[in-house]
Structure 1
Amino acid sequence: MSPAADADADAAAGPSRGWFGRYWTAAAISSFGTAVSAVAMPVLVVQLLAATPAEVGIVNAAQFVPYAVLGLIAGAYTDRWRRKPILVWSSIGRAVSLGAIPVLWLTGALEIWMLVVLLLLFGSFSVFGFAATQSFLPRLVPRSRLVVANARLDQTDAAAQTVGPALGGGLVGLLGAPIALVVDAASYLVDALLNGSIRVDEPRGRRPGRHLGREIREGLRWAYAHPTLGPLAVSTHVWFFANGIAFTVLSLLALRSLGFTAFTFGLLLAVSGSAALLGASFAVRFGSWLGTGPAIIVARAVYPLAWLLVAVAAWLSAAPALLYIALALHGLAAGVENANEMGLRQAVTPDALLGRVNANIRAANRTAAAIGALAGGAAVGLIGDQWTLVVVIVVFGAAAVIAVLSPSLRGMRILPDSD
């Protein structure tokens, strides 16, 4: 982006800067609810519904499948429509989808296939919600502060992931996993109210003669033909595939093979959240020191090491403490990486393309995660959790190699405003 274009974007964002705090609060509340569900959902599926490994993979994949079906369309319409209403209605839809789960459980009707249907619905609303979320932020803060703003959001998300799983484990033990999901449903309603109260000037951007297919192709070209975004996007897709396998096998390993309770499983996820909070706190400084691209590459290289420790714990079957160290490394890398990656993508993409680029990349990411979750469940059933973790290490390593082989990414540097 040219300096003049960057200045124009900053000026356009200026009047809305004061609303970032409300947007931030909404994101924090929904992140807290999501962290509770991160404990409640695996316990519900693995222990209460007694799902097979294949069914665990299907449930984990269900909320990501809509990204493959709707992702490209959602991105195009996010660039056509005003983004704030999309944020509000997608949050309401997610609240209703999640809220139906405890209702069905209390009536004794909940089955795996019903849960899959509700998660498909939840994921459909999420496709539009995340496309709007990642594209709405540049209207609230100047582009020169996007890495800082994303770091703030990541810090809050990591804090929620620290407190939320521990509390979620307690709620699951006290009230049961289905009832604990009510917390997440309520958080989306509060998110909708807060975002609905933000005042921001959003041009509709409608032009005569628009063609959906042409708009989708424009977004795809920018995402994958760009010398920096293209390799980064491919590396991220491979990362999500690995992550989908990894967290499917982790829930089975911890809750079945190693005998974790809901509370200790929540603590495991809380350790990851604590480390992500630490990583997000240093994301801006780390990116300024190494450069935005190199910071992402270094973080990508940490994941194979983290999951090597998980594999060692699985092979030894007597070293659950290694899981906590491994998840801490995973969270630390995620905290450093995410703010730099999102800031880079938002900074180099024109506002008129942000909805499509964000939705296209996220759709491919979530599709890869869905395939990974299905593959993880199938692999555990076929070759066991130990050998499946070896596959996880190899795929995370491939994501790091793709990133490091990009000269443009290695040289990318975005200088944020000082805090």
Structure 2
Amino acid sequence: MTKNWSVARVLRDRDAALYLAASTVSGFGTSALWLASGVWVKDLTGSNGLAALCALALWVPTLLGPPLGTLADLGRRKPLLVALNLGPAALLLTLLAVDSAGRLWLLWAVLFLYGAASVVADAAESALVAAAVAPELLGDFNGLRMTTTEGMKLVAPLAGAGVYAAYGGPAVALLDAATFGCAAALYACVRVREERPRPSTASWRAQTAEGARFLWGHPGLRPLVLAGGAALLLSGLGGPLVYAVVEGLGRSPAFAGTLYAAQGAGSVVVGLLSGPALRRLGERRFAAYGIVLTAVAVAAQAAASSESVALVCGAAIGTGLPCVLIAALTAVQRETPDALLGRVTATAGTLMYAPTAVGLAAGAGLVALVPYRPLLVLLALARLAVLPLLRGPQRAASASRTDARSPSDANPA
């Protein structure tokens, strides 16, 4: 039975396993530094606002996804991935000089460049994976990547906090630099044949716009990406409500960590099941079922009066929310010509993930004005309002990604 299990097929593929290992190792370091950097700033300054700038510095480059993603289409992607891991590893070593509040500008600058490198690396990896992994296994691969990413989020912050408590911020920077070095070595071992892209006479702006036009003009991709952005906007709106839910249960704020752990466990599970589900349902139905599950769980959370119900709801939210993201990424990899794949992937990432920050900011204001229970019900109903975006015929997987087409040929405009 195991030999026919698609997840096992992905793991038996040498290159796919190397990609997953590299992503897992670098993700561990990123998650560890994400928490430790904020604690580091808080210890040096005593300011919560300055500590929050660490997460902002890492996130802001997501807004620059379309132009940054174009970098992934300008040359061969394997050498680019190796360089994008060695570069941050070297940058992180400069954080050994951060020993006072006056040098924190160096930490924020490194985190910003770190975030920008991650945007380009994600686009390049997505494109390279699409060339190396069989199309029918892309959903399994993306699901496994979700599983490993969420798994690292459960353990890496604790590890980073432990290293910081024992040895300080520079030790966490060294740990993260080591993970990037390991990831670079793993990417270097991947066996993939790439042709150098044909030089383009178009400007950087025109090449960036070409990817955006392809994504917006594609009838199969646009609804999935818009649904993903709407889902994460609503997730952001609901994020600040978790502490109100915990207060309603009569628990201390620390119980929020348990709810987040339950949500992470749900995401791990759906990652393992996403490949078979995508093959059976197709991208749109898989995304729609995930949105419905999330809506039901959010509505049930509004009525939760016990810890067990709240934990089940958290796990269900963690299971449903990633479905539309996995479906959208898999569809982008299958439907986009190779010459455009880096910038289209990065543009889709910006459209899906940037609304989270808007939602978090708005949610922080709403939770102070509106009782959390009716607000959760409204957010559940709003999720159901996203479903019409996913109506329409399910497109079959396209082979156009592997066609020898130029960006101009692929541009529907």
TM bracket (short chain): 0.7 to 0.9
Deviation sequence 1:295-352 (CA, Å, 0-9, x none): 1111123334444566668xx8xx6666644432232124544433322221111112
Shift of 1:166: 5.1
Distance across 2 between alignment mates of 1:390 and 1:46 = 35
Unmatched segments (≥5 aa) in structure 2:
1-12, 399-413
- 323-332 or 145-154, larger mean C-alpha shift: 323-332
TM-score normalised by structure 2 residue count: 0.76
Matched, 1:75 2:73: no
Q: Partner amino acid for 2:330?
A: G
Distance across 1 between alignment mates of 2:105 and 2:309 = 34
Unmatched segments (≥5 aa) in structure 1:
1-16
Distance across 1 between alignment mates of 2:241 and 2:41 = 13
Which of 186, 196, 199 is matched with 1:194 structurally? 186
Residue equivalent to 2:58: 63
Shift of 1:138: 1.2
Shift of 1:20: 2.2
SS at match of 1:210: coil
Residue equivalent to 1:14: none
- Between the aligned residues of both structures, percent identity stands at 24
Which of 82, 106, 119 is matched with 2:111 structurally? 119
1:9-408 equivalent positions in 2, closer than 5 A: 18-37=14-33, 39-40=35-36, 51-52=47-48, 59-68=54-63, 70-96=64-90, 104=98, 107-109=99-101, 116-165=108-157, 167-168=159-160, 170-171=162-163, 179-180=171-172, 182-247=174-239, 259-260=252-253, 268-308=259-299, 324-376=311-363, 379=365, 384=368, 394=378, 398=382, 400-408=384-392
Aligned residues: 384
Distance across 1 between alignment mates of 2:21 and 2:232 = 27
TM-score normalised by structure 1 residue count: 0.75
Closer, same or farther in 2 for the Cα pair 1:366/1:334, shift >3 Å?
A: closer
SS at match of 1:209: coil
Distance across 2 between alignment mates of 1:366 and 1:151 = 17
Distance across 1 between alignment mates of 2:289 and 2:150 = 20
Shift of 1:136: 1.3
Closer, same or farther in 2 for the Cα pair 1:414/1:242, shift >3 Å?
A: same
Deviation sequence 1:134-154 (CA, Å, 0-9, x none): 111012112232112222323
- 236-245 or 226-235, larger mean C-alpha shift: 236-245
Distance across 2 between alignment mates of 1:50 and 1:247 = 25
Shift of 1:60: 3.5
Q: Is the 8 A contact 1:40 1:181 kept in 2?
A: no
Q: Is the 8 A contact 1:76 1:216 kept in 2?
A: yes
Distance across 2 between alignment mates of 1:94 and 1:352 = 26
Closer, same or farther in 2 for the Cα pair 1:109/1:374, shift >3 Å?
A: same
Closer, same or farther in 2 for the Cα pair 1:390/1:134, shift >3 Å?
A: farther
Shift of 1:83: 1.2
Shift of 1:386: 6.9
Q: Partner amino acid for 1:331?
A: G
Shift of 1:123: 1.6
Shift of 1:290: 2.8
SS at match of 1:221: helix
SS at match of 2:219: coil
Distance across 1 between alignment mates of 2:108 and 2:357 = 13
Shift of 1:274: 2.2
Cα RMSD for the two superposed structures = 3.9
Q: Partner amino acid for 1:32?
A: F
Q: Is the 8 A contact 1:102 1:178 kept in 2?
A: yes
Distance across 2 between alignment mates of 1:170 and 1:38 = 13
SS at match of 2:190: coil
- 172-181 or 28-37, larger mean C-alpha shift: 172-181
Residue equivalent to 1:411: 394
